[in-house]
Amino acid sequence: MAKILIVDDEASIRRTLRDILEYEKYEVDETKDGMECLVKLKKEKYDVVIMDIKMPKMDGIEALERIQLIAPDTPVIMISGHANIDSAVEAVKKGAFDFISKPPDLNRMLITIRNAMDKASLVIEKKVLQRKVAKSKTQEIIGESEAITKINETIERVAPTEARVLITGKNGTGKELVARWIHEKSPRAEYPIIEVNCAAIPAELIESELFGHEKGAFTSAVKQRIGKFEQANGGTLFLDEIGDMSLSAQAKVLRALQENKITRVGGEKSITVNVRVIAATNKDLRSEIRKGKFREDLYHRLAVIIVNVPTLNDRKDDIPLLVDHFNDMICDEYGVPKKKFKKEAMTTLQEIDWSGNIRELRNVVERLIILSADTVSKADVLNYVVPSSRGKGSVPFPNIFEKFDNVDELHDFINQAYSKYKSDVKV
């Protein structure tokens, strides 16, 4: 049975609507102002909210804005005895499903309620499908080493909670993947995970990126912009490379974490947000604190749980599993048969010093798939591995890259080799 919340300061309107809706077999709840409405929405789920605009304590427009934050999937139908075009347009712009004048036409009200519920149902179905697609695209954390087993166990314990997590590790180790799995296994998985690479955004723009800005806040602010905190409302905000964030932005992030509120750049109004923050860094934040480059109070807010992702050199036993995974994935993308890696080739890969970690291994596997025959041999690894990956004290790695004067020649060679391979296997 669908549940409807009526919000109106006029008892006669609430009583009339209740009688009609209960006759239509709806479950009905009611309240007399916007403040009480928000309290109820935090405790219970309603299929539709019918709300007056003119009410004491908090009017319908302000209540509507807050409903978008705490129950964004709940359709709101606005009603008012002071109806005009401006208020109707404002209500719809703020997210109302529809606007109906008082006294409401009951047939139109019933049709509008059914339409609102149909739309809400479609929105939920879409989110479920998006979640399934996102899960299918989220790679597994591949590995059976002690370090990876421990990380998977930590994710299982931490994900269902609201605890903030700080993920540490070198570039290319898979910190983003850990963050995604924490989100996917959390109660927030139906909402988005919004990623921000703090190192890729100029210091003067990071605050606008995180908190949004109002029109005219600065020269190029030609329109209002919603920041990442608001975009992640209900879900997870992943702050990658947070060690590169400016001190001024750190102070505002700390305040947002303390108060669960943000203020857009150039704005005065505080906006309530419900966000779980996961942060990641390749820096030693303790060292950054001593240098005065990172706030200690923010560190303690973020580092409730710390997950350290090991380098590939610290988990070389996982290389065969990772190679097999990348082999499956890349060959499927290219539409070619899966390559076979000889034991000697795999052993040679395990002897390499992987300064670029998982990211570098993936690139090497792709290169070997393109340039090698049906079976990848030790000689293929010796020939096609990038010089920077050679292990110290290991056998010299002759490689084809010394044959080319520039990158264009190398690209031509790779394209020709790949075309020949596809032709040979009759793709």
The three state secondary structure string of 330-386 is: HHHHHCCCCCEECHHHHHHHHHCCCCCHHHHHHHHHHHHHHHCCCEECHHHHHHHCC
Residue 242, helix vs strand vs coil: helix
Q: What is the pLDDT of residue 6?
A: 95
Distance (Å, whole) CA 121 – CA 418: 47
CATH for 144-310? 3.40.50.300
Show me where the domains of the chain are located: 3-129, 144-310, 313-424
**68/28 Cα distance (integer angstroms):** 21
Mean pLDDT per 10-residue interval, the chain, length 427 residues: 91 91 92 91 91 87 89 89 71 87 85 89 71 56 93 95 96 94 93 93 88 82 86 95 94 94 89 95 96 96 96 96 94 89 95 93 94 92 68 42 52 62 53
The neighbour count for residue 249, using CB atoms within 10 Å, is 21
Nearest to 341 by CA among 383, 382, 375, 384: 375
Tell me if residue 317 falls in helix, strand or coil.
helix
Predicted confidence at residue 156, as pLDDT, reads 94
The answer to whether 230 and 276 are in contact (CB under 8 A) is: no
Q: What's the pLDDT at 311? A: 96
What is the distance between the alpha carbons of residues 384 and 367, in angstroms, rounded to a whole number?
A: 7
Q: Which CATH architecture has domain 3-129?
A: 3-Layer(aba) Sandwich (3.40)
Give the residue from 375, 374, 274 showing the smallest Cα distance to 72: 274
Do domains 3-129 and 144-310 share one topology? The answer is yes
Q: What pLDDT does residue 424 have?
A: 56
CATH architecture of 313-424: Orthogonal Bundle (1.10)
By C-alpha distance, which of 348, 328, 352 is closest to 339?
Answer: 328
Alpha-carbon gap, residue 372 to 244, rounded angstroms: 40
Helices (H) and strands (E) in the chain — how many of each? 17, 14
